[in-house]
Amino acid sequence: MQDYGNSSYWDERYAASNGEIFDWYQSYQNLKSQLLPYLNVDSEFEILIPGCGNSSMGAELYDDGFLNITNIDVSSVVINQMGDLYADREEMEYTTMDARNLEFLPDDCFNLIIDKALLDAQLCSVENIHNVNSMLTEMHRVLKPGGVFLAISHGLPPTRLSYMNSKSLNWQVEFKKIAAPKGELQEGGEGGGGGGGGESHFLYIAKKSMSK
């Protein structure tokens, strides 16, 4: 099995892709109706997309009027590719950063975090338990009070909620089943981390408490 927590794996993969766009699991257009209740066009509304890869989601959100977007990925190769491709979206950032250690980001700075398959990828890494817990701790830390972390996953609730409902994370977690686009499960299942949902994906919704 490939180590999905290793930046060198992703650097090689993205170098071979030659800047081609690819969306794991779901496209922005497929997810739009699910995302809209959590989005806000207010100028102070900040969005983080961790493990952005070569997805067009950030650009499509931007084109819909949600401008304050920070895209991060552990692969410097894909960050350079995407930063060049979407250089005209001036208020959107692409930064090389590891979602398991967001040392350059302060506490409580994002209103919304959108994770599409990153949680699953961490579960397919060598130190998967440590990596998942580190990632979720950082997602919780950088969320503003009342902010929301959305994770689109291949994994059934019993395989994901045990991590997301950790007592160290002061958020309330819900989930809903969403249809998987036809023909996308084979690629999506590659990073599923086990416990796949067949013809469905799952949207996990974690809302951070307003109190510390």
The per-residue pLDDT for 1 is: 56
> Does the pLDDT value for residue 191 go beyond 70?
no
Q: Is residue 2 part of a domain?
A: no
User: In terms of Cα–Cα distance, which of 184, 206, 203, 202 is closest to 27?
Assistant: 184
Q: What is the pLDDT of residue 203?
A: 98
Domain count, the chain: 1
pLDDT tens digits, one per residue of 10-61 = 999 999 998 899 999 999 999 999 999 999 999 999 999 999 999 999 999 9
d(CA 159, CA 80): 34
- Is residue 131 in some structural domain? yes
Query: CA quadruple 59, 61, 65, 69: dihedral positive or negative?
Result: negative
CATH of the domain at 24: 3.40.50.150
Q: Do the domain assignments include residue 192?
A: yes
Q: How far apart are CA 43 and CA 45, in angstroms?
A: 6
Has residue 1 been placed in a domain? Answer: no
Question: For residue 19, what are the domain limits?
Answer: 7-208
Which candidate, 211, 50, 194, 31, places its Cα nearest to that of 128?
Answer: 194
Kind of pairing between the strands at 93-96 and 69-73: parallel
